[in-house]
Structure 1
């Protein structure tokens, strides 16, 4: 039963991942990405990592994919014009892909030579949450801090992308307000009865 569920979920993940890069509409791409995240969380449940499955849904589906959706809908990007120049960069992209797959093959062959037959996911922990915490905050503390900095930079970049300075919009000038003197701001008028200013 688990093999059948694994096969179905894996097929859905692969199809959804292909549709992410093949869809013409960027909103459809984000929706296929959400489907890939959901089915990936199902695969994590199958291997017994319930916390990671919940984290994948909450963080990636609930935050990152929704952020992608809002950015795609808020930015007026002409995707037709971008796709017209895609073929110009196809050779360079192919070279980068070959280098990437060569690196993956080298790492996989190096790991396969020294990999033990059995692997205990939680040697000193009762649950997978404790095992993740022990490994993350001891062996990979520096990488954890670097990933936090990368996420901060990505958040600042998303804010910068949405900033637009449109002409003709009324805004407050904080410099003029704070630099204004009382003599320039307050003016006494001698108003006579029955007459306006």
Structure 2
């Protein structure tokens, strides 16, 4: 057994254990941390398969951005785990059946990709090119239009999210920076001249002062 095989079984064992702990951990923070561990081991498996781009993307995008945001939200919210776990065993048979069906469907679809007899060879010009560079060449040649369409859809989604979250709301206390910059001194402070007013002592205070 060579080193690559040992590393593969090591990464796979830790990955399976971390994935199991994700769905069995009582604390959502512990589940999220085990999910981070699962992502790192999946990236290690992809590195063994010479899929450097997928491994780097998994670590940077999911571990570095998505999971950090997820942990921030989970730790900021006060989630009642006991109320969420009520009725778990009632829906467990149906959930298990749906999970088995999904696993069989994925196995049926993915097993065809492991048939070496039907695998298509790489193009001759990509035979001596690094994996990441070959992926970039393939994306921007054979799949140029799908990549551009996906980029436009993501751009529209980003603009829609910004437009929905930055609407003018009545309860919002946000100010317009342009209006704040154009504000003059006279709009902030107004000096008003008034005559001095001396308060006259009341009759009761005058009597008390005379008796003293």
TM-score with structure 2 setting the length: 0.64
Change (3 A) 1:93 1:128: same
Look at both structures and tell me which one has the larger radius of gyration over its CA atoms. Answer: 2
State the partner residue of 1:39: 41
Shift of 1:74: 1.3
Is the CA contact 1:13–1:40 (under 8 Å) kept in the aligned structure 2? Answer: yes
Change (3 A) 1:142 1:123: same
Shift of 1:143: 6.9
Change (3 A) 1:22 1:141: farther
- Does 2:64 match 1:55? no
Change (3 A) 1:43 1:91: same
Partner residue of 2:133 out of 109, 112, 130: 130
State the partner residue of 2:209: none
Cα deviation 1:67-87 (Å, max 9, x = unaligned): 111111112221211011323
CA distance in 1, matches of 2:34, 2:55: 18
Shift of 1:135: 3.4
CA distance in 2, matches of 1:90, 1:77: 21
Is the CA contact 1:136–1:144 (under 8 Å) kept in the aligned structure 2? Answer: no
Structure 1 unaligned segments of length 5 or more: list them: 161-169, 179-184
CA distance in 2, matches of 1:7, 1:119: 27
CA distance in 1, matches of 2:68, 2:97: 32
Partner residue of 1:139 out of 134, 139, 143: 143
Is the CA contact 1:124–1:131 (under 8 Å) kept in the aligned structure 2? Answer: no
Is the CA contact 1:41–1:53 (under 8 Å) kept in the aligned structure 2? Answer: yes
Considering only aligned residues, what root-mean-square deviation do their CA atoms show, in Å?
3.9
State the partner residue of 1:94: 96
TM-score with structure 1 setting the length: 0.68
State the partner residue of 1:181: none
Cα deviation 1:60-105 (Å, max 9, x = unaligned): 1111111111111112221211011323332332332233123224
Is the CA contact 1:20–1:32 (under 8 Å) kept in the aligned structure 2? Answer: yes
Is the CA contact 2:28–2:74 (under 8 Å) kept in the aligned structure 1? Answer: yes
Change (3 A) 1:124 1:20: farther
Cα deviation 1:103-153 (Å, max 9, x = unaligned): 22432455567x536554675331111222233343385378548639x57
Partner residue of 2:24 out of 17, 22, 25: 22
